[in-house]
Amino acid sequence: MDFLHILLYIQIGLSVFCLYRIIRGPSIADRMVGIDIFGILVVGICAILAVVTGRTFLIDIGIAWVILSFIGTLTLAKYISGKKLNE
């Protein structure tokens, strides 16, 4: 087993921490923090996976994922601060 494979499995296993915070979090804001951090971790998973497999398109998936995660985080922040989405 290569060293990069071990790093890839560690990086995938880190998302379990985020899932713990999403499931266990006492309030809604804790769950949103977990979702936000999970969206950033997936970019790292895509980058290491692109190095391991040699496929180029996985970096594109990372870019699209980080932008969609940003839109989702802003929408949830607007939602819990009690405002409409167009103000």
Binding stretches for another protein (CB under 8 A): 3-4, 7, 10-11, 14, 17-18, 20-21, 27-30, 32-34, 36-37, 40-41, 43-44, 47-48, 50-51, 56, 59-60, 62-63, 66-67, 69-70, 73-74, 76-82
CB of 29 to another protein, least distance (A): 4
Q: Which residues of 57-78 are buried (b: 16+ CB within 10 A; e: fewer)?
A: ebeebbeebeeebeeeeeebee
Q: Which is nearer to another protein, 1 or 82 (CB)?
A: 82
Residues 6+ positions from 31 with CB-CB distance below 8 Å: 21, 22, 25
